[in-house]
């Protein structure tokens, strides 16, 4: 893992102070804080901004979790581009979320946090860009839930997006909805969850760990697991033939992934973001998908990941085809990887190569292109 790239600055943007931020679900929030990080500098024309959107458990610090996309072999050049990344509403990394004190009750929102959607996130980010004086994004990019945001940006703010890059993103299929449902059930089954009103020190750790472990099988592929873990006993010397608690290596791996996740993530945030992932459909709230997609003016690159079974490449490809039928300038590319959905984080060099070869540098820098 390369060193993280440090942000030029990190800040909080607070809005909806005087009137509530209305949410798609019908709920509202007031006020709203967005924690955001900026890498590089906005130029004078403020037309060199790239918005990076994070996935379920990510943070505003894109340089921590996508460092390989910065720099020479990456996609972004901090001497040219200004990267902006905002933590999504509902998360536990600085933006307003279930851990925030609800001004109406004086207590944390907990499970009373209102449902948020990808559209809400995108609208909140548009307010941040207004605040920063950025009218138009040279590109918006993300993987998974981050890619959902990129697609929604291109639909909801067609005039503000030049290039839209979404990796491993499409509306979830029934199997994806099933996997998310099981993860939420793992949390709400935990006696410590207490309808979301758990307190510090009494968090539903076991449930959150199981949710993460279920998610891990959906993020990876059977071939990667077969290669890495096969039917080996857990590497710490356990013998699965001996007792109920002794594990195969894959069991030890999943438990470990679950355990470390509980140290860094909040169960109520997990529920809210997982639900937003379920509910993403770019045509939600609009009658016809075709008409919705016709709104897009950005050049779009959709990347499917060959071994992804949470967002199967065929789903991503089919979305690209429907975009093309709607007149969108869209490219589909496939990242060959055994890492499954995680490929967008696990194979950043290969991903950067795909992005660079599909969206040549001049799409980012050629001012004539931007004016078209």
Catalytic positions are: 144, 308, 341
The dihedrals phi and psi of 102, each to the nearest 5 degrees, come to -80, 115
Q: Supply 286's token pair.
A: 């609009």
Q: Least distance to a second copy from the beta carbon of 178, Å?
A: 5
Least Å distance, CB 347 to a second copy, is: 20
Q: Which is nearer to a second copy, 11 or 259 (CB)?
A: 259
Binding test (CB under 8 A) with a second copy, winner from 46, 194, 281, 324: 281
Q: Interface with a second copy by CB under 8 A: which range of 219-227, 300-308, 341-349, 360-368?
A: 219-227
Select from 279, 292, 337, 338 the one that contacts a second copy (CB under 8 A).
Answer: 279
Give the contact letters, 257-276, x = binds to a second copy (CB under 8 A), - = no.
--------------xx--x-
Bridge partners of 83, per DSSP, are: 39, 50
User: Which residue among 121, 309, 344, 364 contacts a second copy (CB under 8 A)?
Assistant: 309
Binding flag, residue 111, a second copy (CB under 8 A) = yes
Answer whether 303's CB lies under 8 Å from 354's CB. Answer: yes
Distance CA 302, CA 208 (A): 31
d(CA 280, CA 315): 14
> By CB under 8 A, what part of segment 48-67 binds a second copy?
none
C-alpha angle 288/294/296, rounded to 5°? 125
CB 304 → a second copy: shortest distance, Å?
Answer: 15
Region 225-244 residues binding a second copy, contact defined as CB under 8 A: 225-226, 228-231, 240-244
With CA atoms as reference, report the closest residue to 312 among 174, 207, 168, 198: 168
Alpha-carbon dihedral 358, 362, 363, 366, rounded to 10 degrees = -170
Whether 127 and 15 have beta carbons less than 8 Å apart is answered as yes
Closest to 116 measured CA to CA, from 96, 101, 102, 131 = 96
Q: Which lies closer to a second copy via its Cβ, residue 103 or residue 195?
A: 195
Give the shortest CB-228-to-a second copy separation in angstroms: 7
299 binds a second copy, rule: CB under 8 A = no
Give the whole-angstrom CA distance, residue 28 versus residue 14.
15
Task: Confirm or reject binding of residue 171 to a second copy (CB under 8 A).
Answer: yes
1 vs 174, which CB is nearer to a second copy? 174
247 binds a second copy (CB under 8 A): yes
Q: Which residue is listed with tokens 């996508």?
A: 66
Closer CB to a second copy, 272 or 300, in the complex: 272
Structure token digits, residue 43: 């130029």
CB of 214 to a second copy, least distance (A): 6
Q: Please tell me whether residue 121 binds a second copy under the rule CB under 8 A.
A: no
CB closer to a second copy out of 62 and 88: 88
Among positions 80, 131, 136, 181, the unique one binding a second copy when judged by CB under 8 A:
181
Residue spans of alpha helices (H) in 193-347: 205-219, 222-228, 249-262, 267-279, 289-293, 313-325, 343-346
Among 82, 93, 89, 83, smallest CA distance to 59 is for 93
* Cβ closest to a second copy, residue 32 vs residue 179: 179
When binding is defined by CB under 8 A, the residue of 25, 102, 306, 358 that contacts a second copy is: 25
Following DSSP, what letter does each residue of 135-195 receive, concatenated?
A: --EEEEEEETHHHHHHHHHHHH-GGGEEEEEEES-S---HHHHHHHHHHHHHHHTSGGGGG
Closer CB to a second copy, residue 128 or residue 182?
Answer: 182
Biggest alpha carbon distance in the chain?
A: 69
Binding-site ranges for a second copy (CB under 8 A)? 24-26, 111, 115, 117, 171-175, 177-179, 181-182, 184-186, 189-191, 206-207, 210, 213-214, 217, 222, 225-226, 228-231, 240-244, 247-251, 254-255, 271-272, 275, 278-279, 281, 284, 309, 312
């Amino acid at each position: 893992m390369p060193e993280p790239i440090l942000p030029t600055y990190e800040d909080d943007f607070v809005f909806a102070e005087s009137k509530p931020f209305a949410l798609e679900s019908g709920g509202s929030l007031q006020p709203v804080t967005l924690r955001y990080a900026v890498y590089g500098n906005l130029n004078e024309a403020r037309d060199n901004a790239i918005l990076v959107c994070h996935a379920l458990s990510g943070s505003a610090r894109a340089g921590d979790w996508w460092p390989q996309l910065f720099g020479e072999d990456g996609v972004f050049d901090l001497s040219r581009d200004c990267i902006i990344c905002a933590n999504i509403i509902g998360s536990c990394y600085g933006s307003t979320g279930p851990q925030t004190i609800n001004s109406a009750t004086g207590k944390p929102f907990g499970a009373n946090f209102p449902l948020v959607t990808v559209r809400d996130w995108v609208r909140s980010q548009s307010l941040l860009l207004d605040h920063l004086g950025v009218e138009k994004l040279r590109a918006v990019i993300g993987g998974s839930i981050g890619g959902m945001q990129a697609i929604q940006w291109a639909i909801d703010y067609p005039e503000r997006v030049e290039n839209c890059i979404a990796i491993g993103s499409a509306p979830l299929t029934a199997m994806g909805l099933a996997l998310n449902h099981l993860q939420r059930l793992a949390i709400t089954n935990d006696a410590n969850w207490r309808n979301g009103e758990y307190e510090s020190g009494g968090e539903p750790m076991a449930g959150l760990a199981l949710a993460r472990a279920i998610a891990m099988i959906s993020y990876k592929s059977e071939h990667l697991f077969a290669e890495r873990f096969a039917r080996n006993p857990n590497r710490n010397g356990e013998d699965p033939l001996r007792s109920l608690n002794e594990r195969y290596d894959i069991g030890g791996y999943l438990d470990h992934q679950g355990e470390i996740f509980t140290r860094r993530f909040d169960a109520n945030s997990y529920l809210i973001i997982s639900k937003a992932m379920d509910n993403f459909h770019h045509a939600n709230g609009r009658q016809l998908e075709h008409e919705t997609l016709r709104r897009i003016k950005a050049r779009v690159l959709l990347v499917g990941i060959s071994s992804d079974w949470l967002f199967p490449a065929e789903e991503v490809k089919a979305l690209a085809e429907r975009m093309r039928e709607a007149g969108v300038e869209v490219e589909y590319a496939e990242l060959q990887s055994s890492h499954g959905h995680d490929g967008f984080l696990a194979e950043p060099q290969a991903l950067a190569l795909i992005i660079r070869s599909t969206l040549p540098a001049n799409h980012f820098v050629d001012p004539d292109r931007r004016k078209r």
